Chains A and B, each alone.
Chain A
Amino acid sequence: MTHEIIEKYFRKEMMPHIFCPGCGHGVLMKDIACAIDRLDYDKDKICIVSGIGCSSRASGYMDFNTIHTTHGRAIAVATGIKMANPELKVVVITGDGDAAAIGGNHFIHAARRNMDLTVFVFNNNIYGMTGGQFSPTTPTNDYGTTAPYGNIDQEFDIADLAKYSGATFVARGTVYHVDKTIRLMERAMLHKGFSVVDCISNCPTYYGRKNKKGKAPEMIRWQQKNSIDSKAAEKLTQEQLGEKMIIGEIHHDNREEYTYKYQKIKDRFKEA
């Protein structure tokens, strides 16, 4: 199966990829390909748009219409692609810094508009490409090369940020939960509107090492042990839930999508 997926959706001439040994991004990248494989999309109509950072290198390895843009601007470029040709399926691969720091404004406004984009945030709590600086999702008190005395910033919850900005499908997956994450990605892509999957990844090279989180297996095991499905979480009190990370579908509504609304304006001027 994996072999088939790689044959079908990856650019072998671009291999080997640049992800470090143990990085979760490769798993997430394959999850996206598996999710696309389950959907009956024309490969030629899929665009993968990425920003800058480790996560955003994924676009180059995937055999679709792919564009590696500038830091933070993937969602803004994706918005232009979608507006110009709403028939295209536009998927954004971004990271925690790319989506929530430098691109935070584009993220919240695309959510507010409910633009039909699917955003996969490869969230590894660190700037990996530049060598381990704290990001908007680095937990308070954790360490990064620019937080040598511990991070005093409060972190963003990407799913909350998406939900409260107006995204109409929000979910969270992890590198550990492969099947669940593929299903969430599939549902996100099927959703007509701004959909976000906060994909919890692991960076053993920088975040893991700086914060004594162990190597990749320990970090991935942490994802297993410290997460709970949203449906199960509903039945628990805040106390019982503790520090557990909610995964699965987090938010869903059917607000009208932006290009659909814009098409209705265009239709007023269509000749009868």
Chain B
Amino acid sequence: MEKNRVLMQGNEACVEGALVAGMRFFAGYPITPSTEIAELAALRLPMVQGSFIQMEDEIASIAAIIGGSVAGVKSLTATSGPGFSLMQENLGYAAMTETPCVIVNVQRGGPSTGLPTSPSQGDVMQAKWGTHGDHPIIVISPSSVLETYHLIIRCFNLSEKYRIPVVFLMDESVGHMREGIELPNKDEIEILNRKLPDENNHGWLPYAASGDEMTPEIPPFGMGRKYHITGLVHDERGYPTSNTDKARTLITRLIDKIENNREDIITYEENVPEDARVAIVCFGGTGRSVKRAISKAKDENLEMGLFRLITIWPFPEDEIRELSQKVDHIIVAELNNGQIVNEVKRMANCNCKVHHLGKVDGTILMPDEIVNKAKEVLEHDA
């Protein structure tokens, strides 16, 4: 098969990648700046014998994809800040019931209706803590159209493997950006599907977990294994219980299945020259500004390092700790009032100085602003 060079928008790449991953059900509600994802899903899904439905709101949208996944179909929804807020309760339900699904949040400026068509990275903490209670989550953020294509596939793979909702945290600037990209050959792409119980496994219990993934083998409804799903604390049979041991066992396993598999889940881009005294930590579309800033600084003989988070949650704790031992300063560049910076400070633990470079006016960080911030922190040192 020949490689295929196309001009594509980030939101389009999200749908095309999801289709390659095996997404065959989409439920959504129109909201800027994610609407193109719903529009393209509506057009493309019936072509591959999949299904699209426009629901009455975002609460219904995530509920419907949970239903779709329970019926065994890889399911996607896409939204932006206000809709993501509405989805929070069922995000926790998907985590608790271990229902694989992928939720795209093309971030806009917030809070509230905020800046609907402007870039922002203000939903980082909401993606982690938006739903109530201790729960696991995986959050991934792309910085380009091609990466959007690849990472949405990764979102589905991780979601299936660990039976967990995965949030794909895009920036408006990535969602609406058009780039020429080379689509990979389909046979070069790894696709993972959820594990199903062996037919001969007569002692099978829906919520009994095993293996390194610590993830249960739950078949779709209608496959001949009748069982119960509930958002209540449940035992291995899936039945509600308020037994303290069983509650602790369940919640601990849900958290540990992600914590114990950090190496498999966490990816990032790192490039820190040996003589760099400053490193910039960033994620998503801001990575583009940072890379330009680094090359501009190099022209002025200022070496800067790059650490771009691809997996935001679970947070790459060890990697950031190591980074803090390599440089004197970390600047966290993010389009918010300071969210990831606190995670970085927690891991740097005074090994180096950590600075925040944020923006909340609906514009992106410009390369010069990043270079100037680096110069400023170094001058202050001198």
**Chain A: residues with CB nearer than 8 A to chain B?**
11, 13-14, 43-45, 47, 49, 59-60, 63-70, 73, 76-85, 87-88, 105-106, 109, 262, 265-266, 268-270
Contact = CB atoms under 8 A, between A and B. Distances in A.
A262 B231 CA distance: 31
A17 B66 CA distance: 27
A68 B70 CA distance: 12
Interface string B199-230: 00000000000000000000011111011111
B51 to A, nearest CB: 5
B220 to A, nearest CB: 7
Contact of A81 (B24, B46, B68, B239): B68
A220 B90 CA distance: 37
Given A77-B64, A84-B75, A109-B55, A67 B228 contact: yes
Chain A interface, >50% SS class:
helix
A80 B239 contact: no
B221 A81 contact: yes
B67 A65 contact: no
Nearest to B77: A80
Contacts of A265: 46
Contact of A88 (B66, B69, B71): B71
B232 A77 contact: no
Nearest to B51: A83
Chain B interface, >50% SS class:
mixed
8 contacts: A66-B228, A68-B228, A68-B231, A80-B64, A83-B68, A84-B73, A85-B72, A106-B56
Contacts of B230: 60, 67-68
B25 interface: yes
B31 interface: no
A207 B268 CA distance: 58
Contact of A70 (B25, B63, B75, B226): B63
A80 B89 contact: no
Contacts of B69: 80, 84
B70 A81 contact: yes
B60 interface: yes
A106 to B, nearest CB: 5
A68 to B, nearest CB: 4
A163 to B, nearest CB: 19
